[in-house]
Amino acid sequence: MLFSGEQLVWGLFFTAGLIAVVEEWRISLLALLIQYALVGLILSGSLSPSLALAKIITGGMVFFILCPTAWRGRRKPPAKIAGQGRTLATSSPFRLVGSALMGLVAYGLLHQYPWEGVPTDLAFASNFLMAMGLWTVILGRGPFRMGLGLLTFQIGFELLFTTWERSLLVAGLLGLMNILLALAIPYLEAVELARREVER
């Protein structure tokens, strides 16, 4: 393998942190895509290659579904898209500190409730992704940012669950869920942008 399991997990930490802290849509989307790829690579080590490939393909589809929407919203800074001025919650230091806190929460949960049959680093990565996903959702001021957080949460959950449930049907349905979410997010974001245009 190109990267070791530990490196892949660190990669996941980094991408999740990027999504939560950085509001720039290009970076966030790219981080999301990389997340899907990393998850696929992690799972390829322990599961069948077809499952891993399914994850990567899903990630790719999600990326290409979200791209046009992010492009449309590119002219407005994220705070303006949400119709709010800059606040503490939208400042990067606050997000950074919060992300670190989420890391601590994930670490604490790992030791309190260790997941059966899941390697420690994988369990931590999964906990961290779920926590960061929820953190991004809470901070998010528009459907796009909240959607990214939701997808991050979903990735973390699937990372965990796929180690237990290896059925292709279940993986397919979980992938379908990601696609449906990815379709819903641009739809909602488009409506949000249209409402902001009308208000201006």
Partner 1 sequence: MSVAQGEGMLYLAPLVALLGGALLVFSNARYARLLALLSTAAAFLFTVGMVVRPGMLLLRGPAKADLLLYAGGPGLIFALLVTFVLLVSIGVRLSEREKPAVFVSTLLLAAGALLFLLSHNPLTLYLGWGLLDLSILFGLAQGASPRTATRAMVINFTAGLVLLFSSLTAASSGGSSTRFSPQLLAFLLLFASWVRWGLYPVQMVHIAAEEIPFLSGSALQTVTLATGGYFLTLYGWPRLVGVPRTVLLLLAGLALFYGALFTWRNPTGPKGIPWEIPREKRFCLYLAQFQMGLLALSLLAGGTGGGQAVLLLTVSLILALSVLRVGMEVLPSTPRQRLVVKVALGIGVASLSGLPLTAGFAARWLIYDSLLRQGEGLIVGLGALSSALIVAPLLGFITRWPDRRTQSRGGWASVVTLWLLAVPLVILGLHPQIALVRPDLISESFPSLAQLLSAPSSLPIWAAIVLPLLMGYLAFSQRDTFVRFEERLLHRVGPLWERLSFPIPQVPQGSRGRSRGTGILSYLDLEGFYGALEGVGAKICSGLRGVVMVVEGGSLGWLLLLAFIVALFLLRG
Partner 2 sequence: MTPLWIIVVPWIMAPWVYLFRRRSTMAAFLSAGTSLAVAVICFLLPPDQTVWILGRGLLFDPWRRWLLIFLFAGAVLLFLYSWRLSQGWSFFPFLLVTLGLLAGSAMVDNFLLAVLLLESAGVILAFLIQGGPRADPRVTMGYLVPLIIADSCLIFSTHLFDLVALYPEDLVSVRLAMTALTLGFGILLAVVPFHLFLPAVIQEAPPMVATFLLGFYQVVALSLMVGLLDRQPWLGSEAFDILLVAGLITALGGGLFAFLERAPGRLLAYGTISDLGLILVGLGTASGVGVAGAMAHLINRSLAIALVAMSWGVISERYGGERSAMPSGVARALPWATLGYILGGLTLAGFPLTGFATRWPIYLALLPHNPLYTLGLILGGLGIAWGYLRSLTPILGRGERPPGGKEPLLVALMIVTLVGLSLFLGIYPDYLLEPLRNMVEGFSFVGG
Residues 189 and 105: their CA atoms lie apart, in Å, by 30
* Cα 148 from chain centre: 5
Interaction between residue 53 and partner 1 (CB under 8 A) = no
Minimum CB separation of residue 187 from partner 2 in Å reads 6
- Residue length, the chain? 200
Distance from C-alpha of 66 to C-alpha of 18, rounded to nearest angstrom: 17
Q: Considering beta carbons, is residue 97 or 138 the nearer one to partner 1?
A: 138
23 binds, among partner 1, partner 2, none (CB under 5 to 8 A by kind): none
65 binds partner 2 (CB under 8 A): no
Per CB under 8 A, contacts with partner 1 among 134-173 are 134, 137-138
The whole-angstrom separation of Cα 55 and Cα 36 is 6
Position 164 contacts partner 2 (CB under 8 A):
yes
**Cα–Cα distance for residue pair 65/184, rounded to 1 Å:** 10
Interacting partner of 173 out of partner 1, partner 2, none (Cβ under 5 to 8 A depending on kind): partner 2
- Residue 68 binds partner 2 (CB under 8 A): no
Cα distance from N-terminal residue to C-terminal residue, the chain:
52
Asked whether position 97 contacts partner 1 by CB under 8 A, the answer is: no
Least distance to partner 1, CB of residue 38, Å = 25
Least separation in angstroms between CB 143 and partner 1: 13
The piece of 4-12, 39-47, 98-106, 171-179 that touches partner 2 (CB under 8 A) is: 171-179
* C-alpha–C-alpha distance, residues 125 and 110, integer Å: 10
Applying CB under 8 A, the residues found at the interface with partner 2 are 113, 116, 134, 137, 142-143, 146-147, 150, 153-154, 157, 160-161, 164-165, 169-170, 173-174, 176-177, 180-181, 184, 187-189, 191-192, 194-195
Question: Which residues form the interface with partner 1 (CB under 8 A)?
Answer: 134, 137-138
